[in-house]
A and B are shown apart, each in its own frame.
Chain A
Amino acid sequence: EAGVVQSPRYKIIEKKQPVAFWCNPISGHNTLYWYRQNLGQGPELLIRYENEEAVDDSQLPKDRFSAERLKGVDSTLKIQPAELGDSAVYLCASSPGTGAYEQYFGPGTRLTVT
C-alpha cells in the first residue's frame, strides 16, 4: 500500500514569492491534515479536511495561507506571499476518519524562505 505522498520534498524561495505544496493521501482515507513543524517543536495543525470539507482551520493564517481538497482526494496548501517566518517543514497526514485512528504522515516539504 502506498503511503502519503508529498511534493516537493524541498523548496527554497525568496520572501514575498508564492509557494504551493501538494499531498496525496492514502487511498480511502477521508480525513486529511496539514501540519507545520518548526525546528525543535512538535507538529502544529493548520487545517483538517473531512472529505472535501475544511472542518478545522482555526490555526491557518488566512491572510496568506489557503488550502483546497478538490474531490476529497489530494490537497494543495498555498502560501502567498511567503514570509521569512514561514520557513518550516509542512507535513501532510491522513487517517480513515476522525476519532480513535492513527494518522499516517507523509515525508514533508522543507520550506526555506530567504
Chain B
Amino acid sequence: SQQGEEDPQALSIQEGENATMNCSYKTSINNLQWYRQNSGRGLVHLILIRSNEREKHSGRLRVTLDTSKKSSSLLITASRAADTASYFCATDDGGSYIPTFGRGTSLIVHP
C-alpha cells in the first residue's frame, strides 16, 4: 500500500500565482522527499526533508513537515509555465528508508 497521498489530485493556476500541494502519510518516517515528473525530463528530485526538520527551501520551493499531523506541503512561489508537471511525495516507513510514492498532484500552469 502507498504510504504518502498527495492532495489535490489536480491543480490549475495562472503563471505568477503560488501553488500549494499537500502530502499525508500514515506511519512514522525518517525522511520525506518531493519529486517532479514531466514528459521532458522524467522524475527529478526536488527536496528531501528529514523527520527532525520543519521547513526547507530551494529556490522558489518551500517544503514544510508536520510530523504530529503526518503531513507535508510543497509551495511553489511565482509559478511558471515550465512548472507544469506531476509532483510526487515519497515517504519511507521509518524502518527501511525505502521511499514509497503517492499518486501525485498534476499541476498545470497557464501562461
Is A27 interfacial (CB 8 A cutoff)?
no
Within 8 A of A (CB), among B37-93: 42-45, 48, 50, 88, 90
Chain A hits for B30, CB < 8 A: 99-100
With a cutoff of 8 Å between Cβ atoms, the chain A residues found around residue B24 in the complex are none
User: What residues make up the interface of B, taking CB atoms closer than 8 Å to A?
Assistant: 2, 30-31, 33, 42-45, 48, 50, 88, 90, 96-104
Given A40-B103, A41-B103, A108-B42, A102–B48 Cβ distance below 8 Å? yes
B97 touches A99 (CB 8 A): yes
A82 within 8 A of B: no
Query: In the complex, A104→B104 CA distance in Å?
Result: 18
Contact residues in A for B44 (Cβ distance below 8 Å): 105
Closest-by-CB residue of A relative to B31 is: A100
A-B contact pairs, 21 of them (CB 8 A): A41-B103, A42-B88, A42-B90, A42-B101, A42-B102, A42-B103, A43-B88, A91-B42, A91-B43, A98-B96, A98-B97, A99-B30, A99-B97, A100-B30, A100-B31, A102-B33, A102-B48, A103-B99, A104-B45, A105-B44, A107-B42
What is the interface residue range for chain A against chain B? Answer: 20 to 34
Nearest A residue to B51 by beta-carbon distance?
A: A100
Are A105 and B98 closer than 8 Å at their CB atoms? no
Shortest distance from the beta carbon of A70 to any chain B beta carbon, whole Å: 23
Determine chain B's interface SS by DSSP, over half rule: strand
Q: For chain A, residues 41 to 73, give those with C-beta under 8 angstroms from any C-beta of chain B.
A: 41-45, 48, 56
A7–B53 alpha-carbon span in the complex (Å):
38
CB of A45 within 8 A of CB of B42, answer no
Q: Which of B30, B33, B96, B97 has the most CB of A within 10 A?
A: B97
CA distance A107 to B39 in the complex (A): 9
- Contacts beyond the supplied A45-B98, A107-B42: 19 A-B pairs with Cβ under 8 Å: A42-B2, A42-B88, A42-B90, A42-B102, A43-B101, A48-B98, A91-B43, A98-B96, A99-B97, A100-B30, A100-B48, A100-B97, A102-B45, A103-B43, A103-B45, A105-B42, A105-B43, A105-B44, A108-B42
